[in-house]
Amino acid sequence: MVQPFRRLKESPSQTAGPYVHIGATPNFSGIEGVFPHDLGSLPLPAKAQGQRIIVTGRIFDGSGTPIKDALVEIWQADAQGLYPGPGERRGQADPHFPGWFRQPVDTTTGIYRFETIKPGIVPYFDGRPMAPHISFWIVARGINIGLHTRLYFGDEEAANAADPILARIEHRVRVPTLIATLSDVGSVPTYTFDIRLQGENETVFVDI
């Protein structure tokens, strides 16, 4: 006898609350001794190849207030446009560059800050070149599902103009929400990239 097939309803999404920090950054949360350091928190290795840069900014809610409990991850290619890991088939990525970092924002100012390498150009799925970019993933109290967005560099005008992802943004006035500004041109250039979750100048988020 064929048994009836009962579908289970999908459980509702839940806010990340404080638990995402406890699980992802226990040392930052005061839970020490479990791991020697929080994953993704180690500084950029000295042997990493390419132009070292700093990426910094804040995450604002719909009222324009900086969020002070967000957790930010960045993912990117190395200076040659190659991704670390076994999935990379185009060549050997820089073994000294992790390609991924994680940190909570400063609980007083809401500022995040990463020292990394300016990424190279990578191909779109159809082979067209994508401008140098860094992928962001953001979670915080009140965000049910992690938000994905991209940082593009303001001093890469020609590459940005040809980027297939930026070209797909229907409302062109929103493209600047994905562009980081070069705010310091010292020996380690600093790019400022503020993220706005709602309201005026809301950042473009992508569904991946």
What 3-state class would DSSP assign to 184?
strand
Sorted by where each starts, the structural domains of the chain and their CATH numbers stand as: 50-196 (2.60.130.10)
Report long-range pairs for 198-203 (Cβ below 8 Å, ≥24 apart): 198/61, 198/62, 199/60, 199/62, 199/63, 199/64, 201/177, 202/174, 202/177, 203/149, 203/177, 203/178
For every one of its 208 residues, what pLDDT tens digit does the chain have, with 9 covering 90 and above?
A: 556 656 777 666 666 666 788 888 888 888 998 889 989 999 999 999 999 999 999 999 999 999 999 999 999 999 999 999 888 899 999 999 999 999 999 999 999 999 999 999 999 999 999 999 999 999 988 887 899 999 999 999 999 999 999 999 999 999 999 999 998 888 899 999 999 999 999 999 998 6
pTM value?
0.90
DSSP state of 12: P
